[in-house]
Amino acid sequence: MTLLPQEIIVAKRDGKALDAAQIGGFIRGLTRGEVSHAQAAAFAMAVYFRDMTLAERVALTAAMRDSGTVLDWTDLPGPVLDKHSTGGVGDNVSLMLAPMLAACGAYVPMISGRGLGHTGGTLDKFDSIPGYRTQPDNALFRQVVRDVGCAVIGQTADLATADKTLYAIRDVTGTVESVSLITASILSKKLAAGLGALVLDVKTGSGAFMPSHDKAVELAQSLVAVANGAGLPTAALLTDMNEPLASAAGNAVEMRNAVDFLTGRHRDPRLLEVTLALAARGLVLCGLFADEAEARKAAERSLADGTALERFARMVSALGGPTDFVERMDHHLAKAPIVRDVTLSGEGEIVAIDTRAIGMAVVALGGGRTDPAQAIDHAVGFEALAGLGTPISGPTVVARLHARDEASAADAESRLRAALTLGEKAPTDPLLAGRVDPPG
């Protein structure tokens, strides 16, 4: 006998474990409109306070996956692999990683998101390319994945439809931070994408969604346990976000940084290390290589011989972008009217960075959203950002600012300076802060 929605809410409110049938019935009811938004909000709050067991998290994730279309890639001649990041500032890894993985033999149907809060969104970066279709129809998506090996697009309307409803409810009911609900939200979309393997980049530090290391570990462990419990081989790396990962933060500026990375004109050392580590872990996880040292060499080779760059250029063109985007990047990407250096005065070196504050400075420039419907200014942001340990002696350039007008430029300069702390010696926190491997 199926319980009524209110009985399921009461059971969870009272700390009881729900079985897969109860959770599946509740999510089906939400998808069909038989469970009200008020009931879904009460359910989310009950989960927030009472949490869920591993079995409940797996059941919730599977139910949300099955609330829409589940893609099938079994016709492809190679393994299907994807990566997901919990978000940060200057985190443009996906722009390079997808074509690198494709050049190494994986197929990468990367379904990405837009910016959230202070964190930049992969789709917003691709939207800076004129003509690029981040919402192609399913036929074009499948064709590009098959022909090029990778396609970076947005979530389609028919994937994990329950997640859209539940996420909107969580956003306005103070339940976004629930690890159980975060886990189901992230993984339901990845499971619906029909992946064969998934590598996760879970950020920790001042610019991370989960700033504390302990909470980041908790989230990584939950994601890996639930994904593997649902049948998707998954591993996670914990990476440092106590400073922007790339030396650029914005949309067009991060796209320029990514193209420079792929061409070899400039590669930020921390960005290179995280990208190669994720590539190596993912390529082993999907079975293309036996060990991470061998996989890393293949990823490095895709950069050195230009095959990753070639895949990127083909993907951009196949999804509607300019055929000469790589060659004429500066012609195609929007430019801000105000471009100038930002200086910081003092003596010492940068010993701490409020990375979240830098992300919010980009939002204040217009490069992020304060409202879901807000348009993005792709041209604005920072490049040549100074990192931890940068020596400061007198007025020292710490960034190059791209702004739309003088008022927003002055505000962003002030925010950036306030985010940087001077002292004697910067900490040396590890860039790769841990890993969570599949059970067994």
Catalytic residue positions, numbered? 82-85, 122, 170, 185, 189-190
> If you write DSSP's letter for every residue of 86-121 in order, what string do you get?
---SS--HHHHHHHHHHHTT-BEEEEE---BTTB--
- The three-point CA angle 76-303-249 to 5° equals 100
Token look-up 């200014």 returns: 377
Closest CA to 124 of 393, 329, 374: 374
| HEC string for 149-188 | CEEEEECCCCCCHHHHHHHHHHHCCCCCCCHHHHHHHHHH
Altogether, the residues listed in the chain come to a count of 440
Report the C-alpha gap between 165 and 161 in whole angstroms: 7
Whether residue 362 contacts residue 381, with contact meaning beta carbons closer than 8 Å, is answered with yes
Query: What angle do helix axes 54-65 and 161-171 make, rounded to 10 degrees?
Result: 120
* Identity of residue 20: A
Report the C-alpha gap between 339 and 396 in whole angstroms: 17
Contacts of residue 340, Cβ cutoff 8 Å, sequence gap at least 6? 400, 401, 409
Distances (CA, A) of 396 to 52, 347, 389, 420, 432: 51, 10, 13, 12, 29
**Helix, strand, or coil here: 338?**
strand
Contacts of residue 61, Cβ cutoff 8 Å, sequence gap at least 6? 183, 184, 187, 188, 191, 226, 227, 230
Contacts of residue 341, Cβ cutoff 8 Å, sequence gap at least 6? 397, 399, 400, 401
